[in-house]
C-alpha cells in the first residue's frame, strides 16, 4: 500500500484517502447525481484505485523539509491518469480539476479552495515530466490493473497479444521534406547562437532555406524535378556537415547530430574534403529505423503501417460465445516502441512482465510474427502455451514432415506416413537429423512423388532438424477444428485496438518522443481498463449484486445502516454540544 501521511512539518502533501468521512462531504450533490458518480468511473476510481496510486515514487523527487509544499500527490497523479483516459489537453485537464464534479469526486477533493484545485500550466507539465523521467506510468498501470483484476475476479489464464500503430504529434515527411526540415532546424540555431558563422555561409544557401519564400520553394517541386531537388538538398546537407565538423562545440549540438544522422542514413559519401561527393541512396537501401522527422527522432518506419510508433498490447479474454458482461476483459501489458520494431521480439518481455506481477497467461493467442519456433519453445519453458500460425512457405507436396511419426524425446523418425520404418537414423555433423529408408521401398511407394524423402543411388534420405519438425507438426495441428475453435478468439483484440484509439484518442497523440509516447499510451490503456470495469460494475449492480467480486451486499447494507444511525446520534449530540469534532468516529464509519 502506497501512502504518505500528511504532516504540517513536511513539504510533502498527500491526503489520507483510506479513512472515511464522518460527515459525507458529497451530500450537496443530491441522490441522483451521487448515484451516477458512484456507479460510474468516478466512484470506481475514488473508492478502489485512488489510494493505490504509487505516490511514494513521485514524492522522492521532492525534498521533504525544504522548499514550498507540493501539490497533493494523489490529485496530481490521478489527474494525469484521467487526462489521458478522457483525451484532454493540459488546459482542459486543469479546467476539469477546477470545475468538473466528476473529477473532484474521483480524486476525492473535498476542499474546493483555489489552493487545492488550481494548478498552473507549468506545474502540471513539471509533474508530468517527473512521471515520465521516473517511469511512474508503468508503476501506476501495474498497480491499478492488478487491483482491478482482483476486484473483478478476472481470469488471466487466457490472453491474447497484438500490436497497433500509433502516431505522435509529428508531420509525416517525404525525403525532400526531411532534408529541408533538418537543415532549417540547424540553421535556426546557428543564426541564434553563432551569428558570425551563420553570416559566413553562402547567401544562396541561406535564401534557399531561411528566405521568405523558403516554405514554398520546396513544396512546389514538380515530380519530374524531385530527383534533382533531392540531390541539391543532399549536397547542401553534406556541405554543412563538413564545414562544422571541426568545431567541437557545434558537433555536440543535437541539431548537428541530426544532420550527420540524415547524411549517414540517406546518403552515400565518397571522398573527403573538397573532393567529397554525395549520392542519395535508393529507398530500398534505407533502413526502417531511419529518422522520420527531426522533431521526433525516436519514431520509426514500417513498410505496411507507415512512420510513427506501435503499442504492444496483451489482454485477457473470455472464450464463451456469450461473454459475461459482469467480468471485463483487461489489458495486462502495454509497451510503446518505434514502428520499425519487430513483433517477434515483443513476446518474451510481455510474458516476463506479467509473470512478475503474477498475472501471466497459461495460454496466449497471437499472430504469425510472434509465433516463431524460438519464441514458442522459450515461452513453453516459462509455462506459457503460445498458439499462433506458423510462418514461412509451405511445401506444395501433400506429404509433409509433420505426417511422419517421430520419437518425442529424440525427435528421430520412426515411421513414414505409409507405415514404413527407416533402416537407420543418425545425427549429421551439422547437428541435423537424418532418416534413411530403403531405396526399393520408396521407389515402389504409390505416394513417392508427394513425399519429401529424397531417393539417391543407394538409399532414400530425409534430412531435417528439430525446429523444422516442430513447425511441421504445428502446421498439421493448424488444420484441426480444435485449433480453429481456439484461435478464432485472437481477432477480438482488434476491437480493443479500435476502442483504445477511438475512446481514448490513442491514434494520434499530443506528444513527441518515445518516453512521452510511452507515458501517454500506458495511461490510456489503463483508462480503457477503468472504463471497462465501470461498465462491468454497472452490470453487477443491475443484477442486484455487489459492485465488486467478493463483497457481501448484505454486510454492506448493514454497515450502511449502522453508519446512518451513528450520524443521527452525532447530529443530535452536536445540536447540544458544538465542541464535537466532525472526525471523532471517522475510523468507525470508514
Structural domain contains residue 254: yes
- Residue 186 shares a structural domain with residue 228: yes
Measuring CA to CA, how many Å separate 193 from each of 121, 181, 189, 343, 521? 28, 19, 6, 43, 36
Structural domain contains residue 13: yes
The residue among 258, 285, 312 that closes a domain is: 285
- What pLDDT, in 10s, does the model give residues 106-129? 999 998 888 889 999 999 999 999
Our count of domains for the chain comes to: 5
Q: What is the CATH number of the domain that holds 373?
A: 3.30.420.10
The residue among 285, 317, 341 that closes a domain is: 285
Give one DSSP letter per residue of 335-350, joined into a string. EEEETTS-GGGGHHHH
Structural domain contains residue 510: no
- Residue 95 shares a structural domain with residue 127: yes
Beta strand 267-270 pairing with 277-280: antiparallel
The residue among 238, 259, 285 that closes a domain is: 285
261 vs 562, which has greater pLDDT?
261
- Residue 77 shares a structural domain with residue 116: yes
- Residue 276 shares a structural domain with residue 420: no
By the 8 A CB rule, do 78 and 45 touch?
yes
pLDDT of the residue at 21: 81
- Residue 339 shares a structural domain with residue 410: no
- What pLDDT, in 10s, does the model give residues 517-568? 999 999 999 999 999 999 999 999 998 888 888 665 444 555 555 555 655 5
152 vs 576, which has greater pLDDT?
152
Is residue 456 over pLDDT 80? yes
Give residue for cell 520499425: 340
- Residue 416 shares a structural domain with residue 361: no
Structural domain contains residue 527: no
Question: What's the burial of 5, exposed, middle or buried (CB within 10 Å: 0-12/13-18/19+)?
Answer: exposed
- Residue 466 shares a structural domain with residue 587: no
Structural domain contains residue 518: no
- Of 100-104, 351-355, 417-421, the least confident: 417-421
Structural domain contains residue 542: no
- CA 398 from centroid of its chain's CA atoms: 42
- Residue 410 shares a structural domain with residue 270: no
Structural domain contains residue 118: yes
Q: How far apart are CA 524 and CA 541, in angstroms?
A: 26
% of the chain with per-residue pLDDT over 70: 88
Structural domain contains residue 520: no
Arithmetic mean of pLDDT, 347-363: 96
- Quickly state the pLDDT bin for 201 (edges 50, 70, 90): very high
User: Which residues share a beta bridge with 269?
Assistant: 278
- Residue 275 shares a structural domain with residue 318: no
Give one DSSP letter per residue of 235-278, joined into a string. HHHHHHHHHTTT-HHHHTSHHHHHHHHHHHHHEEEES-GGG-EE
Question: What's the burial of 348, exposed, middle or buried (CB within 10 Å: 0-12/13-18/19+)?
Answer: middle
Residue 497's domain comprises 158-166+299-389+485-504
- Residue 241 shares a structural domain with residue 210: yes
- Residue 106 shares a structural domain with residue 180: no
- Residue 121 shares a structural domain with residue 227: no
Arithmetic mean of pLDDT, 339-363: 95
- What pLDDT, in 10s, does the model give residues 137-157? 999 999 999 999 999 999 999
Q: How far apart are CA 389 and CA 394, in angstroms?
A: 12
Amino acid at each position: 500500500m502506497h501512502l504518505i501521511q500528511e504532516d504540517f512539518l513536511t513539504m510533502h502533501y498527500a491526503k489520507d484517502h483510506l479513512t472515511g468521512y464522518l460527515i459525507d462531504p458529497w451530500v450537496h450533490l443530491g441522490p441522483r447525481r451521487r448515484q451516477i458518480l458512484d456507479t460510474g468511473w468516478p466512484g470506481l476510481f475514488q473508492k478502489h484505485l485512488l489510494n493505490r496510486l504509487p505516490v511514494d515514487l513521485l514524492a522522492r523527487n521532492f525534498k521533504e523539509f525544504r522548499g514550498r509544499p507540493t501539490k497533493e500527490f494523489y490529485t496530481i497523479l490521478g489527474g494525469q491518469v484521467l487526462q489521458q483516459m478522457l483525451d484532454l489537453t493540459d488546459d482542459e485537464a486543469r479546467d476539469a480539476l477546477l470545475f468538473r464534479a466528476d473529477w473532484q469526486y474521483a480524486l476525492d477533493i473535498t476542499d474546493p479552495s483555489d489552493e487545492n484545485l488550481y494548478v498552473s500550466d507549468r506545474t502540471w507539465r513539471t509533474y508530468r515530466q517527473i512521471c515520465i523521467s521516473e517511469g511512474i506510468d508503468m508503476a501506476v498501470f501495474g498497480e491499478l490493473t492488478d487491483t482491478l483484476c482482483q476486484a473483478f475476479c478476472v481470469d488471466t489464464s487466457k490472453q491474447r497479444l497484438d500490436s497497433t500503430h500509433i502516431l505522435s504529434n509529428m508531420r509525416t515527411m517525404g525525403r525532400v521534406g526531411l532534408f529541408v526540415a533538418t537543415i532549417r532546424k540547424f540553421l535556426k540555431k546557428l543564426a541564434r547562437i553563432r551569428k558570425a558563422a551563420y553570416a559566413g555561409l553562402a547567401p544562396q544557401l541561406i535564401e534557399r532555406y531561411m528566405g521568405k519564400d523558403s516554405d514554398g520553394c520546396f513544396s512546389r517541386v514538380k515530380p519530374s524535378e524531385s530527383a534533382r531537388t533531392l540531390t541539391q538538398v543532399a549536397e547542401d546537407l553534406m556541405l554543412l556537415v563538413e564545414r562544422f565538423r571541426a568545431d567541437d562545440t557545434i558537433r555536440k549540438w543535437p541539431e548537428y547530430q541530426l544532420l550527420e544522422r540524415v547524411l549517414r542514413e540517406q546518403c552515400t559519401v565518397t571522398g573527403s574534403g573538397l573532393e567529397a561527393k554525395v549520392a542519395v541512396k535508393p529507398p530500398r537501401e534505407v533502413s526502417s529505423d531511419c529518422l522520420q522527422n527531426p522533431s521526433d527522432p525516436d519514431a520509426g518506419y514500417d513498410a505496411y503501417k507507415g512512420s510513427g510508433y506501435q503499442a504492444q498490447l496483451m489482454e485477457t479474454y473470455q472464450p464463451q460465445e456469450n461473454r459475461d458482461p459482469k467480468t471485463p476483459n483487461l489489458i495486462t501489458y502495454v509497451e510503446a516502441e518505434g514502428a520499425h520494431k519487430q513483433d517477434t521480439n515483443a513476446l518474451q518481455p510481455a510474458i516476463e512482465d506479467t509473470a512478475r506481477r503474477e498475472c501471466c497467461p497459461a495460454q496466449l493467442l497471437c499472430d504469425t510474427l510472434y509465433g516463431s519456433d524460438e519464441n514458442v519453445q522459450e515461452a513453453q519453458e516459462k509455462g506459457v502455451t503460445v498458439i499462433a500460425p506458423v510462418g514461412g512457405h509451405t511445401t506444395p507436396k501433400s506429404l509433409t514432415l509433420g505426417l511422419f511419426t517421430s520419437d518425442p524425446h529424440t525427435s528421430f523418425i520412426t515411421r513414414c506416413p505409409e507405415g514404413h520404418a527407416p533402416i537407420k537414423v543418425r545425427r549429421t555433423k551439422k547437428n541435423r537429423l537424418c532418416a534413411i529408408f530403403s531405396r526399393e521401398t520408396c521407389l515402389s511407394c504409390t505416394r513417392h512423388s508427394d513425399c519429401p524423402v529424397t531417393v539417391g543411388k543407394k538409399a532414400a534420405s530425409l534430412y531435417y532438424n528439430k525446429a523444422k519438425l516442430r513447425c511441421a507438426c504445428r502446421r498439421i495441428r493448424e488444420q484441426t477444428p480444435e485449433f480453429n475453435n481456439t484461435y478464432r478468439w485472437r481477432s477480438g483484440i482488434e476491437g480493443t485496438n479500435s476502442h483504445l484509439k477511438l475512446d481514448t484518442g490513442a491514434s494520434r497523440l499530443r506528444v513527441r518522443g518515445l518516453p512521452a509516447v510511452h507515458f501517454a499510451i500506458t495511461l490510456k490503456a489503463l483508462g480503457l481498463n477503468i472504463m471497462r470495469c465501470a461498465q462491468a460494475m454497472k452490470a453487477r449492480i443491475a443484477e442486484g449484486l455487489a459492485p465488486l467480486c467478493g463483497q457481501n451486499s448484505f454486510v454492506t447494507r448493514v454497515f450502511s445502516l449502522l453508519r446512518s444511525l451513528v450520524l443521527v446520534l452525532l447530529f443530535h449530540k452536536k445540536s447540544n454540544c458544538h465542541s464535537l469534532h466532525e472526525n471523532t468516529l471517522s475510523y468507525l464509519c470508514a
